[in-house]
Copies of this chain bind each other. A is one copy, B any other.
Amino acid sequence: MLESDMLPSPLDSSTSYLSTSTIVALCLFFALLCTCVIVGHLLEENRWANESITALFLGLCSGVVVLLVTKFHSTKILIFNEDLFFLYLLPPIIFNAGFQVKKKQFFKNFTTILLFGVLGTVISFCLISLGAFLLFNGIGITNLGIKDHLAIGAILSATDSVCTLQVLSQDETPFLYSIVFGEGVVNDATSIVLFNSVQSLNFSSINAITVLKLLGTFLYLFCTSTALGIIVGLLSAYIIKTLYFGRHSTDREVALMMLMAYLSYMIAELLNLSGILTIFFCGIVMSHYTWHNVTGNSRTTTKHSFATLSFIAETFIFLYVGMDALNIDKWKTSKASIGTSVAVSSTLISLVLIGRAAFVFPIANIANCIKTRESTKVEFRSQFIIWWAGLMRGAVTIALSYNQFSKSEIASAEDSALMITSTIILVLFSTVVFGSVTKPLIEAVKLRHSKPDISGSTDNQEDLRLLFLESNSSVNQRRSTLSLLRHYPTTTVHCFWRKFDDKFMRPVFGGRGFVPVAPGSSPAEDEIS
């Protein structure tokens, strides 16, 4: 190139407005993201790999390259940033999950989800804390206080809903998906309460009232977060329906949906609620009302752009975790021998395995005893998959671990660093090993083929019953609903909800069938059910 020889002074010095390190980091990340998308596409048919594992490996590899290039010095590009994760990466993922979730399936299993998410997390938290307390002294980690042990319990009880989304398929195993993912969302609220309590409770005066207070906090957090999400969702539906945005531009509708969804998360965080619960329910309400009030183009756009943003955020997180695994400062600080590291990590992994087994199987069997109909019971192989699919730990665990141990007040910085590196090993191991085995495991126990049929036929029976109920409702409504409520509680509640929805909610907030379809607009080809 001749021009490059003629390059005058203006371009020689770096006179750009932007700092070079930021640009280099962004370039690297976006190039890696593109690679992940392409490699993930090529590996689509491979049943052992998935996008998160690809991203983890690519992150690890590039982390190694960066370390080699910078000669084991610069690790600034790799440091995990909690703000980035909680403010920008997590909200789109959870919102999209709520937006695309099969609502019928989700609410049908609501009781089971709550049991797993609340009771299960508490059991797991207690067991892991106790295990850490008893076992760590044996390995030689003596500098951790009771707060740290309890924090470990809370950190390791936070399941990774992001990874679950990638491993389980909503279409192939709808029942398992709704249970495991729903549990993950509720689990988040529980973890927040537990983690915050651990950090701020005064442990000199623990009594029955403290436990009651914790329960009260959880109820408060759960109800207010959910209510906030529902209110913001309904508000968006009302505004879009009343002002009829589509008249002028489809972009304004899409923008308003995005902005209000994100706003709900931010308000929840501002009020110290669970932003994840809020944005999840906001997504559900938006897909039920708001989505039906917008033009056909907006429907297609929102459906796919929310999914795309969520997909990019997920890939970004795993890349990030992969690169972060080589946080060389922490590895240097911990000074632990390989033996100690392996011992601590495998202890943590065993505790996670036991802690989850200790609540999945008992709770599932208790739930089975309560249920009357054979088809809704959770059979053993499903229980096994629920146990297995919830073993993965991801970015939430790492973020919480940094939060606890990078500014811990305990004397030894070495043990704190060891905890962080062990958490990283746990996350890598669980994502790669548990994650890659889940798909083949589901195929092996043949849930893929048997479960949808059962679930489908159940749905059909219920739908028939619903029709029957509605046609006879004028004649002997009181008797039939009472007896139905006793025998088929979920169906009856659903039926009441439908009536309420059609009579009061949809006329105000819009929804399927309650918004006139403009003749020019082409509807999205497959509806969100």
Contacts and interface: CB of A to CB of B under 8 A. Distances in A.
Given A83-B19, A308-B254, A308-B301, A38 B216 contact: no
Nearest to A295: B304
B10 A197 contact: yes
Interface stretch (A263-271, A440-448, A499-507): A263-271
Interface string A375-399: 0000000000000000000000001
Interface stretch (A39-47, A168-176, A284-292): A39-47
Interface string A1-12: 001101111111
A217 interface: yes
B269 A220 contact: no
Contacts of A217: 6-8, 10-11
Please give the count of copies of this chain that the complex contains: 2
Question: Could you say which of A20, A210, A248, A258 has the most chain B C-beta atoms within 10 Å of its C-beta?
Answer: A258
A196 interface: yes
Contacts of A201: 9-10
A112 interface: no
Interface in A245-277: 245, 248, 250-252, 254-256, 258-260, 262-263, 266-267, 269-270, 272
Contacts of A272: 11, 14-16
Describe A's contact surface by its main secondary structure: helix
Interface in A15-40: 15-20, 22-24, 26-27, 30-31, 33-34, 37-38, 40
A259 B525 contact: no
A416 interface: no
Contact of A263 (B27, B193, B224): B27
A408 to B, nearest CB: 14
Given A311-B255, A399-B17, A250 B4 contact: no
Interface in A48-106: 82-83, 86-87
Contacts of A210: 8
A474 interface: no
A343 interface: no
A126 interface: no
A243 B42 CA distance: 8
Contact of A37 (B14, B33, B216, B255): B255
A213 interface: yes
A199 B259 contact: no
Contacts of A20: 270
A219 interface: yes
Contacts of A269: 16, 18, 23
A529 interface: no
A10 B196 contact: yes
A485 interface: no
A212 to B, nearest CB: 9
A81 B31 CA distance: 25
A12 B7 CA distance: 61
A256 B37 contact: yes
Contact of A266 (B7, B26, B263): B26
A357 to B, nearest CB: 28
Nearest to A197: B10
Nearest to A269: B23
B243 A304 contact: no
Contacts of A37: 252, 255-256, 259
Given A8-B216, A16-B269, A252 B42 contact: no
User: Which A-B residue pairs are the 4 nearest by beta carbons?
Assistant: A8-B213, A301-B304, A305-B305, A3-B220
